[in-house]
């Protein structure tokens, strides 16, 4: 109600840690939303954290579905994260993923998951029902095709098979979010993480980093300097992750404040943890009559993100 925040992490036999944020008194102009000019990502401070967290929670309150909330959130971060108080956008690309078991995906995404895992499956075999899959729910970026999940050629569905070979970035992201890659199908793990996981993934220098793929096709051409990710667990076998590709270096101190932002996103999305519309997205349209854009297929083929 007042823009503050409370987060708690607890582990049996270890103890509990509480984070309490009490906002300062805001002027009328500040209280209406993000500071004028957005959030300076290189100097992201406690005030920015409070404003951004409150804005993301309001987005959740004012949304009717997981998909709608996710789209509004990535757009808020894409538009709000800036280089300098009044500078250009700092986020070349912002994406929100949701991880769910294979059995809870719609048929189209199940087909994508099978295709992605074809090398490890026998003919006609399907992935295990509990195999987690990262599904791209919302995306906002510089290029037109970076603004539609359906236009993503390689990241619409990313299976996370137990014991499988994941990309270095996905492995690091999942690990930093507190999920043991060897226990992604363990129900006890998720019951524990629901209460305590809201963490941050940070690559301070993206250039030549083994954790950031597509160096020649994406990192260098678009001047990606840092990668910031945050996420957590909404419910048993239901995770979310937000990834920001920044053209401005993000200092570790600024990145650490996004742990509280992650908690705000979790609070906003948790109300929709039973909503699976986000993984049954409608086909993109180019007109009010709902006709499918003839360029949708071509965009998917040309798009490498």
Express each pLDDT in 30-85 by its tens digit. Answer: 444 455 668 999 999 999 999 999 999 999 999 999 999 999 999 999 999 999 85
Please give the pLDDT value at position 121. 74
The span from the CA of 194 to the CA of 69, in Å, is 20
Total of domains in the chain:
1
Q: pLDDT class for 234, splitting at 50, 70, 90?
A: confident
Please give the pLDDT value at position 13. 64
Contacts of 90 (CB under 8 A, 6+ apart): 41, 42, 81, 82, 83, 246, 247, 248
Residue 305 lies in a domain: no
Per-residue pLDDT tens digits for 113-134: 888 888 777 776 788 888 888 8
Residue 215 lies in a domain: yes
Residue 142 lies in a domain: yes
**265's tokens:** 């996103």
Per-residue pLDDT tens digits for 105-115: 999 999 998 88
Residue 81 lies in a domain: yes
Residue 91 lies in a domain: yes
Residue 287 lies in a domain: no
Please give the pLDDT value at position 296. 37
Q: What are phi and psi of 280, to 5 degrees?
A: -135, 55
Please give the pLDDT value at position 219. 94
Per-residue pLDDT tens digits for 253-300: 999 999 899 999 999 998 888 766 655 544 333 333 333 333 333 333
Residue 16 lies in a domain: yes
Please give the pLDDT value at position 168. 66
Residue 181 lies in a domain: yes
Q: For residue 114, give the CATH number of its domain.
A: 3.30.450.40
**Does the pLDDT of residue 224 top 90, yes or no?**
yes
Q: pTM value?
A: 0.75
What is the residue-wise DSSP string for the chain? Answer: --S-EEEEEEETTTEEEEEEE-PPPPPHHHHTSSPTT-EEGGG--HHHHHHHHHHHHHHHHT-SSHHHHHHHHHHHHHHHEESSTT--B-EEEEEEEEEEEGGGS-HHHHHHHHHHTGGGS-TT----TT-EEEEEEEEEESSGGGG-GGG-SS-SEEEE-TT----HHHHHHHHHTT--GGGTT-HHHHHHHHHH-EEEEEES--TT-TTS--IIIIITTTT--EEEEEEEEEETTEEEEEEEEESS---HHHHHTHHHHHHHHHHHHHTTTT--GGGSPPPPBSSTT-PBPTTHHHHHHH---
How confident is the prediction for the chain on average, in pLDDT?
A: 76
Selected residue with higher pLDDT from 91 and 37:
91
Per-residue pLDDT tens digits for 142-188: 999 999 999 987 889 988 877 656 666 666 666 655 555 454 444 44
Please give the pLDDT value at position 277. 63
Which domain, by its residues, includes 28?
A: 5-279
Selected residue with higher pLDDT from 27 and 228:
228
CB 149 within 8 A of CB 138: yes
């Amino acid at each position: 109600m007042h823009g503050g925040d409370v987060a708690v992490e607890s582990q049996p036999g270890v103890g509990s840690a509480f984070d309490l944020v009490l906002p300062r008194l805001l002027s009328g102009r500040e209280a209406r939303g993000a500071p004028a000019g957005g959030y300076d990502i290189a100097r992201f401070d406690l005030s920015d954290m409070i404003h951004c967290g409150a804005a993301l929670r309001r987005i959740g309150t004012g949304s009717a579905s997981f998909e709608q909330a996710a789209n509004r959130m990535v757009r808020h971060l894409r538009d709000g994260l800036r280089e300098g108080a009044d500078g250009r956008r700092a986020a070349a690309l912002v994406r929100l993923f949701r991880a769910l078991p294979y059995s809870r995906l719609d048929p189209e995404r199940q087909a994508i998951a099978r295709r992605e895992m074809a090398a490890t499956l026998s003919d006609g075999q399907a992935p295990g029902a509990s195999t987690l899959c990262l599904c791209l729910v919302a995306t906002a970026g510089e290029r037109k095709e970076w603004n539609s999940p359906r236009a993503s050629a390689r990241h619409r569905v990313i299976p996370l098979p137990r014991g499988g070979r994941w990309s270095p970035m996905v492995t690091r992201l999942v690990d930093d979010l507190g999920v043991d890659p060897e226990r992604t199908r363990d129900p006890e793990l998720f019951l524990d993480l629901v209460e305590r996981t809201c963490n941050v993934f940070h690559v301070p220098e993206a250039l030549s980093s083994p954790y950031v793929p597509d160096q020649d096709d994406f990192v260098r051409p678009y001047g990606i300097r840092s990668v910031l990710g945050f996420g957590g667990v909404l419910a048993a076998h239901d995770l979310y992750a937000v990834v920001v590709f920044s053209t401005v270096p993000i200092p570790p101190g600024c990145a650490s404040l996004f742990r509280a932002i992650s908690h705000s996103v979790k609070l906003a999305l948790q109300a929709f943890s039973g909503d699976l519309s986000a993984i049954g997205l409608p086909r993109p349209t180019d007109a009010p009559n709902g006709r499918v854009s003839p360029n949708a297929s071509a965009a998917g083929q040309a798009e490498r993100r």
